[in-house]
Structure 1
Amino acid sequence: MEKTWRWFGKKDKIKLETLRQIGVEGIVSALHDISNGEIWSLEAIIDYKNYIESHGLRWSVVESLPVSEAIKYGGEDRNFLIENYIKSLENLGKAGVTTVCYNFMPVLDWARTDLFYQWEDGSSSLYFDKAKFAYFEIHILKRDGAEKDYNQDILNKVEELKNTLTEEDNKDLVDCVIVKTQGFVNGNIKEGELNPVEKFNNLLALYDGIDKNQLRENLKYFLEKIMPVCETWGIQMCVHPDDPPFSLLGLPRIVTNEEDIDWFLNAVDNPHNGLTFCAGSLSANLNNDVPKLAQKFASRTKFVHLRSTNVFDNGDFIEAHHLGGRGQLIDVIKVFEKENPSLPMRIDHGRLLTEDVDKGYNPGYSFLGRMLALGQIEGVMAAVRSELNKK
């Protein structure tokens, strides 16, 4: 597989020269300065592509060309926004950038409750605490009916948190869930938002009455509209699994497991409609056998995210060591190196190590933690290829 790296543009503190020096071959990036729903011009795409190539790398994957909320919930302006999306895809195709990772998750691009969960060695990882998220829903958002989505054990923990968390803790939780995990990925809410809770609740209200079946139909509608331009320019669309892969905030999730993936691939059965195989997201669902899913969907996978999680009995999960956890990355790599070895692959969500604490990297995207993981995964890939060649 091609070794790629998520890079956040010319303002990224990690330099392209450095990435090339550590063995990165391709860049995963986006035009982050362009707002959701606006057209990516051919000139802007070519300028960005040329800049990456001037450092001896290639722009391998667009992650992401964001899908506007109105497309997801089926708003009045969705056709206008889809037309803009099609124009952006056409311009990407003309520039020769033809793999596009996107997601169809309502409101939240991904969710964690702790960005710096401490390990014994002093490093930290992203963490999802189900009780803390329930507290966020019930006592910060004050979402109607949120209590019905949680069992009594979780609700008891929520009451404990209500008696122990301070106003500062509440602000930190809002910053984590609404702002820090969203703003740097073309999110709906940016750093400096004055009333993030109010804006967030307004976004949730847009999905009133949207259930799983309706969200699925909206995805199908979107894919049917964009497939012609994908066919013309050879663009590979690859949806990212929901993160985490279960319902949050009363919102439906439609890319969480084998049945979901089967549905959207068959609903628009076109070779340009594919999957971003994120072993981390899929591993956070205890019902998913990640290597089995890799084997089944290898031919429709266009892009691979390699990370893993440890999932606890209470529903909490943490980013795991890249050679451990439920993601079973060694077995996943065996599948893709055998079945679809030309795929771009990127390391995802490395640990935050001490030397990177003060660097101001985006959550989950520190340099040293990802470089460590890249070295580990590159070794696994080399060993797998060696074994395959012997056979």
Structure 2
Amino acid sequence: MEKTWRWFGKKDPITLDMLRQIGVEGIVTSLYDVPNNEVWQTEDILDLKKFIEAAGLRWSVVESVPVSESIKYGGKDRDLLIENYKQTLKNLGKAGITTVCYNFMPVIDWVRTDLHKTLPDGTQTLYFDKIKFAYFDCKILKRKDAEKDYSQKEMQQVNELENVITEAEKAELIDTIIVRTQGFINRSIVHGNEDPVEAFKNLLRLYEDVDKGKLRENLKYFLQQVIPVAEKYGMRLCIHPDDPPFPVFGLPRIVSDKNDIRWILDAVESPSNGFTFCAGSLSAGIQNDVVDLAKKFAEKSFFVHLRSTEIKENGDFVEASHLGGRANLIELIRIFEKKNPAVPMRVDHGKLMLDDVAKNYNPGYSFLGRMFALAQVEGMMAVVRNEMKSNLMN
């Protein structure tokens, strides 16, 4: 697998020279300064591509060209926005950048309740606390009928939390769920002095009449429009799984398990229609056997994210060591090295450790923590390749 790294452009404090020194081969990035829904201009694409190549690396994957909310919920302007998307794909394809990761998650890309969960060794990781999430949903967001999504015991714990939570802790939850985890991906769902909770409610209202069937229908419509462009330019589009892979905020989820993945791949049969195999997202769903999913979908996985999670008995989950957790990364590496060895792979998320803690990195995207994870993954890759070499000799 090609060793890649998510890099946030020329303003990223982690430089390309640093990445080359730690063994990175390819860069995963986006045009972060271009507003959502606007066409990526050829000159901007080529400028960034040449900048990356001048550092001795290559632009391996676009993560991502954001899909407009209007395309997802089926707004009146979706055809115009799809045309913009197609033009961006054309410009990328002409520039020789052919792998594009995207997602079709409504409103919110990923959900955590704690960006600095301290582990016994003193490092920090990302965490999903189900009761804190339910508290945010029911007491801060005050979503209609939200209580029906939780058990009686969970709602009792929510009410107990209501008696002790501080205003500062409430503000931190809002910042974590709505602002910080979304801002660097969605180019922010909050603008100017807009109240983040109210802005989030407004986005949720757009999906009041969108169920799983309708969201699937809208994804298929989108793919029917963009896949022919991808085919023409030899491109591969790979959808990212839901993070986490279960319903949140009453929103439909359509990329959460093997049935969803199969449906998407069958919806528009094409060598350009594929999947981003995010082991971390998939392993956060108790319904998923991640190794089995890799066996089923390795050939149609055009991009791989290697990380792992542990699910607690109470429904919480924590981002685990790359050597641990439910994902079983070494077995995934065995599968991909045999079935799809040229696929670009990036270590997805890393702990905050040592000097990382003092830096203002995007959540999950530390330097030392990801470098440590890359070293762990490289070690596993070496073991697997030695196994394969030994098997060939015997």
**TM-score of the superposed pair, with normalisation by structure 2:** 0.98
Whole-angstrom distance in 2 between the partners of 1:340 and 1:134: 40
CA deviation after TM superposition for structure 1 residue 187, in Å: 3.8
Structure 2 residue 182 is matched with structure 1 residue 173: no
In structure 2, the partner of 1:72 is 72
**Any idea what the Cα deviations from partners look like across 1:291-347, whole Å, max 9, x if unmatched?**
110010011100000000000111110000001000110100000000000000000
1:122 and 1:354 in contact (8 A); partners too? no
CA deviation after TM superposition for structure 1 residue 37, in Å: 0.4
Report the CA distance shift for 1:205/1:257 in structure 2 as closer, same or farther (over 3 A). same
Report the CA distance shift for 1:3/1:190 in structure 2 as closer, same or farther (over 3 A). farther
In structure 2, the partner of 1:296 is 296
Whole-angstrom distance in 2 between the partners of 1:295 and 1:273: 18
Structure 2 residue 274 is matched with structure 1 residue 287: no
Whole-angstrom distance in 2 between the partners of 1:284 and 1:119: 18
Letter in 2 for 1:368: L
SS of residue matched to 1:109 = coil
Letter in 1 for 2:273: N
Structure 2 residue 251 is matched with structure 1 residue 251: yes
Report the CA distance shift for 1:58/1:41 in structure 2 as closer, same or farther (over 3 A). same
2:305 and 2:348 in contact (8 A); partners too? yes
**Any idea what the Cα deviations from partners look like across 1:53-93, whole Å, max 9, x if unmatched?**
00000000000100000000000000000000000000000
Structure 2 residue 295 is matched with structure 1 residue 309: no
Instruction: Return 328-337 or 153-162, whichever deviates more.
Output: 153-162
Tell me the matched-pair count. 391
CA RMSD of aligned residues (A): 0.9
Letter in 1 for 2:313: D
CA deviation after TM superposition for structure 1 residue 354, in Å: 2.8
In structure 1, the partner of 2:20 is 20
In structure 1, the partner of 2:116 is 116
Whole-angstrom distance in 2 between the partners of 1:97 and 1:291: 29
Instruction: Return 93-102 or 181-190, whichever deviates more.
Output: 181-190
**Any idea what the Cα deviations from partners look like across 1:105-163, whole Å, max 9, x if unmatched?**
00001010000001011111000011111110111111001000111121111111111
Mapping for residues 81-120 of structure 1, pairs under 5 Å: 81-120=81-120
In structure 2, the partner of 1:378 is 378
Identity %: 62
Whole-angstrom distance in 2 between the partners of 1:219 and 1:389: 42
CA deviation after TM superposition for structure 1 residue 227, in Å: 1.0
CA deviation after TM superposition for structure 1 residue 191, in Å: 7.7
Report the CA distance shift for 1:17/1:301 in structure 2 as closer, same or farther (over 3 A). same
Whole-angstrom distance in 1 between the partners of 2:191 and 2:113: 17
Could you tell me which runs of 5 or more consecutive residues in structure 2 were left unpaired when the two chains were aligned: none
Spell out structure 1 runs of 4+ moving beyond 6 A.
none
Could you tell me which runs of 5 or more consecutive residues in structure 1 were left unpaired when the two chains were aligned: none
SS of residue matched to 2:372 = helix
1:184 and 1:190 in contact (8 A); partners too? no
SS of residue matched to 1:23 = coil
In structure 1, the partner of 2:140 is 140
SS of residue matched to 2:220 = helix
2:190 and 2:199 in contact (8 A); partners too? no
SS of residue matched to 2:358 = coil
In structure 2, the partner of 1:48 is 48
Whole-angstrom distance in 2 between the partners of 1:154 and 1:46: 52
Whole-angstrom distance in 2 between the partners of 1:341 and 1:28: 18
